[in-house]
Chains A and B, each alone.
Chain A
Amino acid sequence: MDLCSRSEQNLQVVSVGEPRIDAAVAIEFKDAMRAATDGGSDTVVLDLSAVQFIDSSGLGAIVAAMKHMGQSRRLALAGLTPTVEKVFRLTRMDSVFSVFPTLDGALSELKH
């Protein structure tokens, strides 16, 4: 599970290097997100610009990652590609997460 984490001022950016977050890797993704975000910044930006496809398992794993971070922390999503955006839109989960079209957009909005 290719996750790259870096700090950007007060934020943590986690970039997913996998093209798919689907049933085959959902649990791995969930575990990797826990490891990457435990003890990290209050605000995490999940960069999904390399992810071409998620299914409902992938969506569930992203929700799990958000829930694991807890109420006082925030998981924002950036760079949703067409099918990924479709999944978040149809399920209305794009109203639960802050969603930014680009990582740069997310960073300018969220950094301080």
Chain B
Amino acid sequence: MPAFQVSVQSSELAVREALKQLLDGLVPLHLDVEEAGTVELVMAEALNNIVEHAYPQGDDTGPITIACNHRRDGLHLTITDRGHGMPDGRTPLGAPVDIDVMPCDIPEGGFGWFLIKDLAKDVQYQRVELENRLSLRLAVALASRSN
């Protein structure tokens, strides 16, 4: 599968569009339901973060680009945007959310980075001049599996 790119202008509905274009581009890999679910979930979380924090409502919108490359060790994805940088110049830890609390105290947020860090490998963030780059690898469509 040749490397490809998906580009959208940031908005809440743009995330759905980007995910659709990404999954369409991955059709040649014949991902199973589990693998496709992993791709969609990790990328939804990363894209949602960009829409919410890199291009917050009220500020200017801007482009979001996903570059996707298939290698022996899985799918290599880099998401680029030109919005606000991550606080402290790094990704949140993504620690598991503590749910061993009373039901009325169960948090409604904080799961996104946990899911990214749990499902993706080699998660890296860089800010280069005015560009944010989040790269990660998903261990799907591995060379070892037979098609």
Contacts and interface: CB of A to CB of B under 8 A. Distances in A.
A78 B25 CA distance: 32
B41 A82 contact: no
Interface string B95-139: 011010001101111011011001100000000000000000000
Interface in A80-112: 82-83, 86-87, 90-93, 95-96
Contact of B44 (A22, A82, A90): A22
Contacts, number: 82
Interface stretch (B12-20, B76-84, B85-93): B12-20
A55 B112 contact: yes
B60 interface: no
A74 to B, nearest CB: 10
B99 A83 contact: no
Contacts of A34: none
A63 B104 CA distance: 9
Given A55-B48, A82-B33, A82-B34, A96 B99 contact: yes
B111 A60 contact: yes
Contact of B48 (A23, A53, A96): A23
Interface in A36-70: 53, 55-57, 59-61, 63-64, 66-67, 70
B41 A24 contact: no
Given A22-B16, A22-B44, A56 B103 contact: no
Chain A interface helix/strand/loop/mixed: helix
Contacts of B97: 91
A92 B119 CA distance: 14
Q: Which of B45, B111, B118: most chain A Cβ within 10 A?
A: B111
Contacts of A59: 111
A67 B106 contact: yes
A63 B48 contact: no
Contacts of A53: 37, 40-41, 44
A83 B37 contact: yes
Contact of A87 (B48, B106, B115): B115
Interface of A: 20, 22-24, 53, 55-57, 59-61, 63-64, 66-67, 70-71, 82-83, 86-87, 90-93, 95-96
